[in-house]
Structure 1
Amino acid sequence: MICFPNAKINLGLNVTEKRRDGYHNIETIFYPIPVKDALEIVPAREFSFSQTGIAIDGPAEKNLVMKAVNLMKEHFDIPPLDIHLLKAIPFGAGLGGGSADAAFMLKLLNDFCSLGQNEKELEALAASIGADCPFFIRNKPVFASGTGNIFTPVNVSLTGYMLCLVKPDIAVSTPEAYSLVKPAFPETGVKEIISRPVSEWRELLVNDFEESVFARHPRIEQIKTTMYKTGAAYAAMSGSGSSVFGLFEKPVSLKENFPDCYVWEGNLP
């Protein structure tokens, strides 16, 4: 059985306050995009995990896919499986690829083993893996608050827009990015802004990480600037970076502009 975990982008991201536990509360919109990995399981005599595509550092047991498998094994009788992950979503990009892989593994095992878990029960399991993992269970646009773990359905559609996603060969430390942000509640919340036409987002919808990340990595800011120069209706960094996305009303091809970067271009469903 095979499935195709997809990435997400952040439409706006406000770091609103620092919590007593050291984490931060945020407000953002998680929006699914059709940039996908492939995840396959087949019956086997013993558990095994292999991975191809974009190389991932670290041992297999640290991979979020195996964390999801081991979590399910704690609660259910899971038969031995040969598990293969074809990695195509860039990691360290603010796209949630690892979280998507883990959440889709939970759903895959639920279907393959006929476990009968509903979406709410799968979300509870996913929450123990990572804050944004539960989002990928329902995989629909949501307003995310708390640490990015409290979801409220939101009515936003980017159908018909072309998405250009660019990730430079730059690593951004998420803890460092948070440490450089001054938390504050915005004058206008992201839910109100995204209800307006996309053409108005440029001046209103912000990612609080951009200021400090751009100061340390001008290349990322340059990518955003290039997208606007080539006609993007809206462009922004996703999460704490390092990927930048642009929404275009007309087809474009920017691959020649970013020969040293990962580039994905396609229409949003």
Structure 2
Amino acid sequence: MISYPNAKINIGLAITSKRQDGFHDIASCFYPVGWSDILEIIPSEELSFQSTGIDIPGNADHNLCLQAYHLLNKDFNIPPVQMHLHKIIPIGAGLGGGSADGAFALVMLNEMNNLGLSDEQLEEYAAQMGSDCPFFIKNKPVYVTGRGEVFNELDLTLKGKKIVLVNPNIHISTKEAYSGVSPKALDFELKATLEGNIEDWKDHVKNDFEDSLLKKYTVIDKIKSDLYKQGAEYASMTGSGSTVFGIFSTEIDLSNYTEYSVWSGDLD
């Protein structure tokens, strides 16, 4: 079985408070985009995992795809599989690629083994792997609160719009990103603004990580400014960086970004 775990963007990302458990409360929109990895899972005599494409740092035994297998195996004693992940989505780029890989593995293993788990049950398993993982089970736009695991319906569609994602090949750790943030409560209704006109987003919808990171990594600021110069209706850094996206009504010239990792496509 083959699937294509896709990335996501944050449209707005407010860090509203520091929690007693060490995490932060956020408010954001998670929106799926088409930049995708490739994940193949097939039956095997023994459990194995390998990856190609972008090199994945760290111990492969800790990959979220394997974590997904172990979570389900603990409860259902499922047979071993061979997993092959071809990594395309940049790592540490604010796109949720690793979370998508783990969530898609859950969905695939559920189907392959006829476990009959509902989306809600799969979301519970996904939450054990990381805050972003549950989003990729249903994989549709949501308004997110809590530490990123509380989903609320959002009346927002960007269907027909085009998106450009530019990653300047800078890895920003979550720890580094949060070190420059001072949590503060929102003084406006982010959800209502997102459900309004995209023309109003530029002045109100912001990623709180940008205040410190755009000063430290001026190339990110330059990319964002350039996307606006090319006619973006809205442009922002996504997640904790370093990827910047622009939303457009028409195709744009991508020749300015040949030295970076770039993806463009249509939004659903």
Q: Which TM-score tier does this pair reach, normalised by the shorter chain?
A: over 0.9
Q: CA deviation at 1:22?
A: 2.0
CA distance in 2, matches of 1:20, 1:58: 29
Compute the TM-score of the two structures, normalised by the length of structure 1.
0.97
1:14-53 residue CA offsets vs partner (Å, 9 max, x unmatched): 0001112221100000001111111111111111111111
CA distance in 1, matches of 2:21, 2:114: 38
Q: CA deviation at 1:189?
A: 2.6
CA distance in 2, matches of 1:55, 1:47: 21
CA distance in 2, matches of 1:225, 1:4: 31
Mark the runs of 5 or more structure 2 residues left unpaired by the alignment: none
Q: CA deviation at 1:7?
A: 0.7
Paired residue total: 268
Checking the alignment, whether the CA contact within 8 Å between 1:5 and 1:101 is kept in structure 2 is yes
Code of the aligned partner of 1:207: N
1:103-155 residue CA offsets vs partner (Å, 9 max, x unmatched): 01000000000001111111111110001111111111111111111111111
1:63-122 residue CA offsets vs partner (Å, 9 max, x unmatched): 111111111111112112111111111110111100000001000000000001111111
Q: CA deviation at 1:259?
A: 1.9
Code of the aligned partner of 1:196: G
Checking the alignment, whether the CA contact within 8 Å between 1:172 and 1:213 is kept in structure 2 is no
Q: CA deviation at 1:59?
A: 2.1
Compute the TM-score of the two structures, normalised by the length of structure 2.
0.98
- Aligned counterpart, 2:66: 66
SS at match of 2:195: coil
CA distance in 1, matches of 2:172, 2:42: 36
- Aligned counterpart, 2:103: 103
CA distance in 2, matches of 1:167, 1:135: 22
- Aligned counterpart, 2:85: 85
Code of the aligned partner of 2:266: N
CA distance in 1, matches of 2:62, 2:188: 39
CA distance in 1, matches of 2:76, 2:253: 47
CA distance in 2, matches of 1:265, 1:167: 12
- Aligned counterpart, 1:261: 260
- Aligned counterpart, 1:168: 168
1:197-248 residue CA offsets vs partner (Å, 9 max, x unmatched): 1122111111110010111111111110010011101000001100000001
Code of the aligned partner of 1:258: Y
Give the fraction of aligned pairs with identical amino acids, expressed as a percent: 47
SS at match of 2:26: strand
- Aligned counterpart, 2:46: 46
SS at match of 1:215: helix
Q: Which portions of structure 1, spanning 4 or more consecutive aligned residues, are displaced by more than 4 angstroms?
A: none
SS at match of 1:207: coil
Structure 1 range deviating more: 105-114 or 57-66: 57-66
Code of the aligned partner of 2:197: P
Find out whether 1:35 has 2:35 as its counterpart: yes
SS at match of 1:72: helix
CA distance in 2, matches of 1:190, 1:105: 32
